[in-house]
Amino acid sequence: MTMQTDHHSERERERTEAIEAIEHALSAIEGQRREPDQWERAFLLQAISWLFRGGYRIAAVDADLAMTPPTERSRTSNLRPDPVIDRCNISVLRTAFREAAAQPVSDFPAFGPIIFTRSAG
């Protein structure tokens, strides 16, 4: 294997792990037949955002953080109410996740804004 092939294979593995972590978190919430709380929404949105950007390791970490039991979460959370985040129910999160998971493997993370070039539908 060449160095470039090794790198791409590693990125594919990281992407797969991120997708599995996000899927696990979404399925756990759906299995409880409830909507995600603010903590879960915030971290799942970050995980999905990092999946879009190719930040696969960070995406997996955020998905795992979303599943932190309430008793183990910070008592001084800096999460503030946000009308956009508050509207992100499980259906919205699942749709965004499917879109992100459908993207090709990115060889490097992108740290700028996400720019959508077509409407979702």
Whether 121 shows a pLDDT value over 70: the answer reads no
Residue range 53-80: mean pLDDT, rounded: 92
For the chain, how many structural domains are there in total? Answer: 1
What pLDDT is attached to residue 5?
82
Q: Is residue 39 part of a domain?
A: yes
Q: Is residue 40 part of a domain?
A: yes
Q: Is residue 118 part of a domain?
A: no
Q: Is residue 113 part of a domain?
A: no
Mean pLDDT score across all residues of the chain: 90
Q: Is residue 88 part of a domain?
A: yes
User: In which band, very low, low, confident or very high, does the pLDDT at 77 lie, cut at 50, 70 and 90?
Assistant: confident
**What are 4-22's pLDDT values in tens digits?**
789 999 999 999 999 999 9
| Contact criterion met (CB below 8 Å) for 9 and 1 | yes
User: In which band, very low, low, confident or very high, does the pLDDT at 43 lie, cut at 50, 70 and 90?
Assistant: very high
User: In which band, very low, low, confident or very high, does the pLDDT at 3 lie, cut at 50, 70 and 90?
Assistant: low
Q: Is residue 112 part of a domain?
A: no
DSSP the chain: --HHHHHHHHHHHHHHHHHHHHHHHHHHHHHTTS---HHHHHHHHHHHHHHHHT-HHHHHHHHHHHT--GGGS-TT------HHHHT--HHHHHHHHHHHHTSPPPSS---S-----S---
The range of the structural domain enclosing residue 86 comes to 9-69+80-101
What pLDDT is attached to residue 2?
65
Full-model pTM = 0.86
Q: Is residue 89 part of a domain?
A: yes
